Amino acid sequence: MRVTVIGAGYVGLVTAACFAEVGNTVTCVERDAGRLQALDKAQVPFYEPGLSDLVARNIEVGRMHFVPSIAQGLGTAQVCFIAVGTPPLPSGQADMSQVRGAAAEIGQHVSGPLVVVQKSTAPVGTVEMVQGIIDAEMARRGVQHWVSVVSNPEFLKEGSAIEDFTRGDRIVLGSNDDKAIAVMRELYRPFNRNHEKIMVMKPASSELTKYAANTMLATRISFMNELARLAEAVGADIEQVRLGMGEDHRIGSHFLYAGAGYGGSCFPKDVKALAFMAREAGMHAELAEAVDAVNQRQKQRLFEKIATHFAAGGLKDRTFAVWGLAFKPNTDDMRDAPSIDLIEALLGAGARVQAFDPVAMDSARKLWGERPGLTLCKDAASALQGADALAVVTEWHTFRSPDFDQLAAQLKAKAVFDGRNLWDPQAVRSAGLAYYGIGRG
């Protein structure tokens, strides 16, 4: 099929590459000149395992193309995905300006039958809004084409996006148009072979499903972080509690890990957006607001533990090694990452920070530039040189089994702060290090 994807960001590029890989001809619209130039050379501007190879392969065989405008990209497309950004406004509401702009341009340039797929995470009512904008633009031109808008939320996890797209557990389609659904079934047929994954529902239900899923996962994380504080207060170990909970099949073991808080491009903004939608509907989403509040508080937890440990001498002029900057492993995404809160708090207290992440160093340089007191190191060992203590913020596999005796010899204050509960407290302490985890009693 002939597919156009508006927006070559994270969701758009993964979507385009995966559809191209199964034989479709895909045109990506990307307005950013620098990003467009890089993509023409098969250079993916962010880290996602396997995506660079996928893009390069499909450019080489002529199934992926990149253009700077919707007018150039729409052509004779049968399906057009809107995959532009919907960042949060200060109110928590999703900024829909890019979606509205894309819809208007589609209406201005569509020249035949088209299914428009709303892929960007957007609030309930977006399908109706996009359909109205397109219809109005066609009426202004005096043309009539069958154009049907479908909601198709993404459920991609950074670090495993290709696997999630090609082998995902569900494909949600929101539409009341049988003809449009038939087109979407054909497009998704290569990914729907082993068992039926397609779920057809009303557009409003589809739009809400995305927010509901992310808020549910965020709720589990915040609940465990709340329990971790209680565990510390009563002398329990949250890791043992987690195992005891996870064996209950009604609960399961996923997303039951206490830590330094969640971040990234989805959970923070989607929880806030759900709470905003509730307010717009005349409700008070108390649970969603509490989930967000707990997470904001949890992002300060590592710094609080560090400040308490060094209360006698203070933090000024001390040096801290920080391992892990991305909000999660297998990505270079630092949006709303807990590492930012920790580093800013340490720098604000007069400390120095030596930080390392396996793939997010370029993201860190873009974020901080030449920040006084902050050194971005070439490897984990360099971050330890001259450090008083170590804090682990991202659970990269490379950080899971350090030599604790060597750490004890290097760290001047002989203290580690485990923001992801990677290590066995007893193993760390037996090496002569003070250990602080999250909810470890």
User: How many angstroms separate the CA atoms of 51 and 20, rounded?
Assistant: 12
Write out pLDDT tens, residues 344-375: 999 999 999 999 999 999 999 999 999 999 99
What is the pLDDT at residue 319? Answer: 98
| Annotated catalytic residue 80 | no
Q: What Rg do the C-alpha atoms of the chain give, in angstroms? A: 24
Q: For residues 96 and 250, is the Cβ–Cβ distance under 8 A?
A: no
Q: What is the pLDDT of residue 441?
A: 79
59: Cα within 13 Å, side-chain hemisphere: 18
Partner residues linked to 353 by β-bridges = 320, 374
Amino acid at 272: K
Catalytic residue among 18, 28, 80, 266: 266
Q: What is the mean pLDDT of residues 140-146?
A: 97
Q: What angle do CA 198, 203, 206 make, to 5 degrees?
A: 55
* Tens-place pLDDT, residues 298-309: 999 999 999 999
Q: What is the mean pLDDT of the chain?
A: 96
Q: How many residues in the chain?
A: 441
Res. 429: pLDDT tops 90:
yes
Going across the sheet that includes 415-418, the strands are: 374-376, 352-356, 319-323, 389-392, 415-418, 434-436
* pLDDT tens string 152-192: 999 999 999 999 999 999 999 999 999 999 999 999 999 99
What would the mean pLDDT of 20-47 be, rounded to a whole number? 95
Calculate ∠ Cα 81-83-85, nearest 5°: 160
Distance between CA atoms of residues 307 and 146, nearest Å: 63
Q: What is the pLDDT of residues 375-420, one digit of tens each?
A: 999 999 999 999 999 999 999 999 999 999 999 999 999 999 999 9
Residue in this structure with the two tokens 């052509």, named with its chain if needed:
75
* Cβ count within 10 A of residue 277: 21
Q: What is the mean pLDDT of residues 57-69?
A: 97
Q: What percent of the chain has pLDDT over 90?
A: 99
